[in-house]
Amino acid sequence: MRAPPTGSRPPSPLPRAPLPGLTPRMAASASRTVLFDFGYVLTGPQDVSAFDPLLAELRLGRVAFLEAWGRHRAGFDSGALEARAYWERVLSEAGLAGAADWVGAHFERIMRADLGAWATPRKAMHVLVGRLLDASVPVGILSNMPPGAGAKWMALWPALDRVPLKLWSGDEGLAKPDPAIYRLFLERSGWRAEDTLFVDDVRRNVEAAAALGFATHLFEGENAAVAAVEDWVAPALSRPRERSATRG
């Protein structure tokens, strides 16, 4: 942990020994901000069973489908690959003949299944976001997400639409871990990297943010993430008197 310049900032509210998952960039700040990833941090893990009815209908194997789903996802999330073209590639590589025709006829079905696979919220994280907003702590979302998907998520979970600063990769033509997308968020928000705690479940995204000066927390469970955020923004956010010592 770096000591702030003499007389420029108040003493750090953080303990001398940082919690597991915190980087040593967490120096004291007069105005701290928190930036969250979305998928897997504010949502639960992907529920791949959401695709099972379609896969059964098409007689496709789940493993081959998910491999193709992941293989082309970066292009989809960045906006480089249009949605119909993405699903055509995924289904074709999973073994479906005539994938283009099927996608043309059932596009909305597969898009709903894709959204539904992530539709379980992490309630503790949603509560945390609400507490931060109620305490006037600046909060943002920076997520790799296909074009237009962010608006659908906000319609599904309107409480999160209270977050004023949201940047979705597919709407910008950029994606994490490209440093340009972090810089774009800072430019639009007016935040400073050194005053911002970035929470993401993907190590390369966290490392890219750290290289730009962000404080970071690698998300591995709700309990540890809540603890990290609480310590980062203390005393702005009232901390609960007791907290489970178990990492979620």
Rg (CA), the chain: 20
CB atoms within 10 A of CB 131: 19
In this prediction the pTM is 0.82
Helices (H) and strands (E) counted in the chain, each on its own, are 11, 5
Stretch 168-190: mean pLDDT, rounded? 97
Confidence tier at 236 by pLDDT (50, 70, 90): confident
Confidence tier at 235 by pLDDT (50, 70, 90): confident
Burial status of residue 12 (CB atoms within 10 A of its CB: 0-12, 13-18, 19 or more)? middle
pLDDT of residue 245: 31
Which region, left, alpha or beta, applies to residue 215 given φ > 0 means left and ψ of -120 to 50 means alpha?
beta
Per-residue pLDDT tens for 10-58? 332 222 233 334 443 433 334 899 999 999 999 999 999 999 999 999 9
Question: Is 60 exceeded by the pLDDT of residue 115?
Answer: yes
β partners of residue 200? 218
User: How many residues belong to the chain?
Assistant: 248
